[in-house]
Structure 1
Amino acid sequence: MFGLIGHLTSLNHAQSVAKELGYPEYADQGLDFWCSAPPQIVDTITVTSVTGQKIEGRYVESCFLPEMLANRRIKAATRKILNAMAHAQKHGINITALGGFSSIIFENFKLEQFQQVRNIKLEFERFTTGNTHTAYIICRQVEEASKQLGIELQNATVAVCGATGDIGSAVCRWLDTKTEVQDLLLIARNQERLQKLQAQLGRGKIIGMEDAFPQADIIVWVASMPKGMEINPKNLKKPCLMIDGGYPKNLATKIQHPDIHILKGGIVEHSLDIDWKIMKIVNMEVPARQLFACFAESMLLEFEKLHTNFSWGRNQITVEKMEQIGRVSVKHGFRPLLVG
């Protein structure tokens, strides 16, 4: 059995869908209540591979909300993730993906040091961040969507915002070794990590966003968007492909121009309907078929009986592992979301 640990996008979102989740008493509660609310299994899932194989899974709502980080409720946020992991393990789930902020919180706050959660000793091999599959899908989106738009990679400049993160660095490695992309622009806050990544790649230009965007044919966004940040379409190339790999995905609400094509990054489509309700609750456009690639990674590992933390630790994703999960993804009927 596979598991998915997720969370809702805001307090307002959580209040609005509490009834659908089966907890109407949560609907009128504020942030303090959600800080203390325990994790809950709110969905039972059945997935069928194109090979005919069927698997079952559970969706664990962590009750984490992004406002907890914004309001410095760090202890509440970290407790949410650890409790959700313990809840999944207690229910015998073999491999569970940490979705959304779950994996970021786990890594940034070094939660591996807190292995004991009450009477449960966490077995980390039961958990994966799902980042390898997410990075693979984003790279395939770059390759396929650029063809759709007539952008030739061998003549293209690709900017990666969040280049030093787990997914961003993996995308850079793939673009460096698996494509003939002409120029690679590396954007991140930490200059030391940027220089280290540039040295590892043996290429790439370290640059700020304001200077990078007018040069980029393709922008891969895998970082959190700074509060209040605005992107002026006049400063972007036309055509420009923007792949929004953040969560929540909000670039499309900020930039509207006929020659700027914004694609929801890290989203896969399954060939067959999935029996679940959670993707409707998180407002996926085609909830029976579309899902986050990180969630799909746990499904793929369950299909293959690879009950191991396939994606774990910062910047450990190799091109070889991306190729491995990519082959399994195709085998079971998943494909990257492309431009409509």
Structure 2
Amino acid sequence: MFGLIGHLTNLEHAQSIADELGYPEYAEQGLDFWCMAPPQIVDEIKVRSITGQVIEGRYVESCFLPEMLSQNRFKAATRKVVNAMAHAQKYDIDITALGGFTSIIFENFNLDQIRDIRNVSLDFSRFTTGNTHTAYVITRQIELVAPKLGIDLERASILVCGATGDIGSGVCRWLAHRFPQVDLILVARNQQRLQEFQQELGTGRVLPLATGLPLADVIVWVASMPKGMEINPVELKHPCLIIDGGYPKNLGTQIQHPGVRVLNGGIVEHSLDIDWKIMKLLNYDVPKRQLFACFAEAMLLEFEGWHTNFSWGRNQISLEKMAQIGAASVKHGFRPLLT
């Protein structure tokens, strides 16, 4: 059995669908209450592969909300993640994906130092961030959509914002390998880590975000958006492809220009309907088929019987693992979202 650990977009969203999630008493509660709310299994899932194989899973609502980070309630945020992991393990779920902010919190706060949660000793081999499949899907989105816009990837300038993160570094490795002539622009907040990654990669140039944006034919955004920041689409190249791989995704509503195409990055569409309700509550266009690539990674690991932390840690995604999870993705009927 596979598991998915996720969270809702914000407090207002959480309150609005509390009844549908099965805990109506939460609907009128404020952030203080949600900081204390325990994780709950709120959905039973059934997925069919195009091979005919059928697997079952469970969705664990962590009750984490992004406001916990913006209001410096870091202890509550970290507690949410490890409690959700312990909850999944307690129900003997074989492999569970950490979705949305939960994997970021786990890595940034070094939660691998915490193993014992009440009466559960966490077995990290039962969990995956799903980042390898996300990186693979983003690279396929670049490769499939850019040429349709008239962008020649052999000669393009591609900016990766969040280049030193796990997903960003994987995307950069793929670009450097697949298109060695590409002008790769590396952007990240931690400049020391960025310089070290550039040396490891052996290519790319480090530029400030404001300098790099007008130069890029393709922008891969796999970092959180700085508060108050806005991108002026008039100052971008036309055509320009933007892969919005952040969460929550908001570049599509912020950037409106006929010469700029914004794509929801790291999203896949399954060939067959998935029996679940959670994606409908997240307001997806085709909720029975569209999902986060990180969630799909847990499904793929269950389909293949790879019960291991396939994606784990920062800057650990290899080209070999991207190819491996990519082949499994195609085999079982997942494809990158291209619209």
TM norm. shorter chain > 0.5? yes
Does the Cα contact within 8 Å between 1:157 and 1:181 map onto a contact in 2? no
Map 1:14-25 to 2 at 5 A: 14-25=14-25
Within 5 A, what are the aligned runs for 1:23-62?
A: 23-62=23-62
- The alignment status of 1:174 with 2:174, answered yes or no, reads yes
Report the Cα distance in structure 2 between the residues aligned to 1:100 and 1:218, rounded to whole angstroms. Answer: 23
Instruction: Tell me which amino acid in the other structure corresponds to 1:82.
Output: V
Conserved 8 A contact 1:264-1:337? yes
User: 2:10 maps to which residue?
Assistant: 10
SS of residue paired to 2:93: coil
Which residue does the alignment assign to 1:130?
Answer: 130
What is the correspondence of 1:151-300 to structure 2 with a 5 Å cutoff? 151-180=151-180, 182-300=182-300
CA contact (8 A) 2:64 2:80 kept: yes
How far apart in 1 are the matches of 2:320 and 2:289? 27
State the secondary structure of the residue aligned to 1:137.
Answer: helix
Q: How does 1:24-103 map to 2 (within 5 A)?
A: 24-103=24-103
| Amino acid of the structure 1 residue aligned with 2:201 | L
- Is 2:234–2:257's contact at 8 Å kept on the other side of the alignment? no
Give the distance between the partners of 1:149 and 1:288, measured in 2 at CA: 29
Distance 1:181 1:52, change over 3 A: farther
How far 1:202 sits from its partner (Å)? Answer: 1.1
The separation in 1 between residues aligned to 2:233 and 2:73, in whole angstroms, is 36
Report the secondary structure of 1:82's partner residue. Answer: helix
Asked whether the equivalents of residues 16 and 27 of structure 1 are also in contact (C-alpha less than 8 Å), the reply is yes
Distance 1:212 1:266, change over 3 A: same
TM-score, normalised to structure 2, is: 0.99
Change (3 A) 1:24 1:181: farther
Q: Quote how far apart the aligned CAs of 1:169 are.
A: 0.6
Checking the alignment, whether the CA contact within 8 Å between 1:158 and 1:181 is kept in structure 2 is: no
Q: How many Å apart are 1:265 and its aligned residue?
A: 0.2
Displacement of 1:182: 2.0
- Tell me how far apart the structure 1 counterparts of residues 182 and 310 of structure 2 sit (CA, whole Å): 31
Instruction: Tell me the residue number matched to 1:143.
Output: 143
Contact 2:176/2:182, CA 8 A, preserved across alignment: no
Q: How far apart are residue 194 of structure 1 and its match?
A: 1.0
The offset of 1:318, in angstroms, is 0.4
Deviations 1:76-118 (A, max 9, x none): 1000000000000000100000000000000110111110000
Report the alpha carbon displacement of residue 179 of structure 1 after superposing the two structures with TM.
Answer: 2.8
Counterpart residue identity of residue 28, structure 1: E
Give the stretch that moved more between structures: 168-177 or 146-155. 146-155
1:320 is matched with 320
Aligned partner letter, 2:24? P
Question: What amino acid does structure 1 have at the position aligned with 2:163?
Answer: A
Cα distance in 2, alignment partners of residues 130 and 198 from structure 1:
24
Letter in 2 for 1:271: S
RMSD: 0.7
Q: Determine if contact 2:156/2:216 at 8 Å carries over to the other structure.
A: yes
CA distance in 2, matches of 1:323, 1:113: 30
1:45 aligned partner, one-letter code? I
For structure 1, the residue ranges without an aligned partner over 5 or more in a row are: none
Distance 1:138 1:124 in 2: 26
Please, which runs of 5 or more residues in structure 2 have no aligned partner?
Answer: none
Q: Percent identity?
A: 71
For this pair of structures, how many residues does the alignment match?
A: 339
Query: Secondary structure of 2:154's match?
Result: helix
- Give the distance between the partners of 2:130 and 2:327, measured in 1 at CA: 15
Aligned partners of 2:175 and 2:182 also within 8 Å:
no
Deviation readout 1:238-275 (Å, 9 max, x if unpaired): 01000000000000111101111000000000000000
Distance 1:199 1:74 in 2: 33
